[in-house]
């Protein structure tokens, strides 16, 4: 079975085509600069040269058309015809209180559209991707996979904000959590690496990238996570502020005469380690600047590391113990320095990493020392594979029902 996974952003489409018999990637690629003067498709078929095409790409429909053409390209293609695709899985990000992936029909599209107000940068483009596929590939089942779904197992006291209950009910204000597909994947992998059932384990998963979040996973279920109503909450991030005193928002609106849109921009795009360092949102730039003696870069780094350490402590308490700590995503997978700083002085958990093992980049590996009471892993995330698996399961069940 061949499954195409699409991750549509506001100006980009990332894709991977899987052969699900062996869960093998046949091709992957990226369309960038949709709607700008000149768009670019970079197509990477497995075992062949990459193909780069520049052209005008006004919308998602054109972008997906280009992806499909690349997949059947006589030289760089991996399929003979589109009809070989059995299903399309979409990363849909915000699914509200839905706890599983859904076959795309009118009702599912309605749900994604309704929640666009809570995730405008993600749900809108996903919907455009879905509608483009309906036009170009009618009859091929599509599945929406939500970043929020894994976290819907949180108990009510973990997802409820201490605001007036009726207001929260009216506006659906609660903790939803994000990066769920990634947290679920790495928790499953950690259990597999430990050769123990996930249902017995207490795991903290740290998805540290441009956007960062931490999740407490008990018996395979998310019981708490650092992102909240929106992906702005929790950890200090590249450009997002994470948790701050909410009174700062009204204070700034009064003192600086900021509009809601200006505050939103400040908190989402000008804060985080970029805001503190005044230098960059990229942790590689921070590392370099710290080594050159830049104290603001050092401060931004320390603020980030400290917030991660605090969440790990909080979640170890929520879990009443800890079997494994997992690092994933761009920073978590690739920065030995950030992992070493986060794991320093964790004697209260009996957690120790091995400095030599920690020198790993983007590779699945246990990095804890043999005397550590907690297993520490680096596990590259694979959200696309999770989306492909859910899509396959739903396509399989459709076929079963149509027999």
Residues that bind ligand AMP (CB under 6 A): 209-210, 238, 282-284, 329-331, 334-335
Vertex 20 angle, CA 67 and 16, to 5° = 25
Asked about 147 being catalytic, the answer comes back as yes
Contacts of 87 (CB under 8 A, 6+ apart): 1, 3, 4, 140, 141, 142, 143, 391, 392, 394, 395
CB nearer ligand AMP, residue 142 or residue 334: 334
* Residue 352 beta carbon to ligand AMP: minimum distance, rounded to whole angstroms: 22
Q: What does the block give as tokens for 178? A: 């994000």
Question: Residue 127, class by beta-carbon neighbours within 10 Å (0-12 exposed, 13-18 middle, 19+ buried)?
Answer: buried
Euclidean distance between CA atoms 337 and 341, whole angstroms:
6
Q: How far apart are CA 164 and CA 38, in angstroms?
A: 49
CB of 175 to ligand AMP, least distance (A): 21
Nearest CA to 208 among 277, 286, 112?
Answer: 286
CB 281 to ligand AMP: min, Å: 6
The nearer residue to ligand AMP, 152 or 335, going by C-beta atoms, is: 335
Helix or strand or coil: residue 35?
coil
Min dist. Cβ of residue 271 to ligand AMP (A): 15
Both structure tokens of 37:
């003067």
Quick one: 11 or 160, whose CB is closer to ligand AMP? 11
Give whichever of 101 and 212 is closer to ligand AMP, judged by the CB atom. 212
> Cβ of residue 340: shortest distance to ligand AMP, in angstroms?
12
Q: Which two tokens stand for residue 104?
A: 């795309």
Separation between Cα atoms, residue 74 and residue 84, nearest integer Å: 15
Residue number of the CB atom closest to ligand AMP:
330
Give the active site residue among 59, 147, 323, 345. Answer: 147
Residue 314 DSSP code = H
Q: How far is the CB of 314 from ligand AMP (least distance, A)?
A: 23
Least Å distance, CB 207 to ligand AMP, is: 8
**Phi, psi angles (nearest 5°) of residue 141:** -60, 140
Q: Closer to ligand AMP at the Cβ: 141 or 211? A: 211
Residues 6+ apart with CB under 8 A from 42: 29, 30, 31, 32, 50, 51, 52
Nearer to ligand AMP by Cβ, of 66 and 331: the residue is: 331
Of the pair 323, 333, the CB lying nearest ligand AMP is at 333
Distance CA 299, CA 293 (A): 11
Active-site residues: which are they?
Answer: 147
């Amino acid at each position: 079975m061949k499954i195409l996974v699409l991750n549509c952003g506001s100006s980009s489409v990332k894709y991977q085509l899987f052969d699900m018999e062996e869960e093998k990637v046949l091709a992957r690629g990226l369309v960038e600069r949709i709607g700008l003067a000149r768009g670019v498709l970079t197509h990477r078929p497995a075992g062949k040269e990459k193909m780069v095409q520049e052209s005008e790409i006004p919308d998602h429909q054109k972008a997906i058309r280009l992806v499909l053409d690349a997949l059947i390209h006589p030289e760089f293609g991996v399929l003979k015809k589109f009809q070989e695709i059995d299903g399309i899985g979409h990363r849909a990000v915000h699914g509200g209180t839905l706890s599983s992936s859904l076959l795309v029909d009118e009702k599912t599209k309605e749900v994604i559209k309704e929640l666009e107000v809570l995730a405008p940068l993600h749900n809108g483009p996903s919907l455009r991707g879905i509608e483009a596929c309906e036009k170009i590939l009618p009859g091929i089942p599509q599945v929406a996979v939500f970043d929020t779904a894994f976290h819907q197992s949180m108990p009510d006291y973990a997802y409820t904000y201490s605001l007036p209950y009726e207001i929260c009910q009216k506006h659906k204000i609660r903790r939803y959590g994000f990066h769920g597909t990634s947290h679920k994947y790495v928790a499953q992998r950690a259990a597999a690496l430990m050769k123990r059932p996930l249902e017995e384990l207490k795991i903290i998963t740290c998805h540290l990238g441009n956007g960062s979040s931490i999740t407490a996973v008990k018996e395979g279920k998310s019981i708490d996570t650092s992102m909240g109503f929106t992906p702005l909450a929790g950890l200090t991030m590249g450009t997002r502020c994470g948790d701050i005193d909410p009174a700062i928002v009204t204070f700034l609106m009064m003192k600086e005469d900021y509009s809601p849109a200006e505050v939103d921009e400040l908190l989402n795009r000008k804060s985080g380690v970029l805001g503190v360092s005044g230098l960059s949102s990229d942790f590689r730039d921070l590392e370099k600047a710290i080594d050159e003696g830049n104290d603001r870069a050092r401060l931004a780094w320390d603020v980030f590391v400290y917030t991660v350490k605090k969440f790990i402590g909080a979640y170890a308490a929520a879990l009443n113990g800890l079997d494994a700590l997992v690092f994933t995503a761009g920073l978590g997978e690739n920065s030995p320095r950030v992992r070493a700083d986060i794991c320093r002085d964790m004697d209260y958990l009996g957690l120790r990493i091995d400095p030599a093992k920690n020198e790993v980049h983007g590779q699945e590996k246990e990095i804890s020392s043999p005397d550590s009471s907690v297993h520490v892993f680096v596990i590259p995330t694979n959200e696309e594979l999770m989306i492909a698996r859910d899509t396959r399961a739903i396509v399989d069940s459709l076929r079963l029902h149509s027999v």
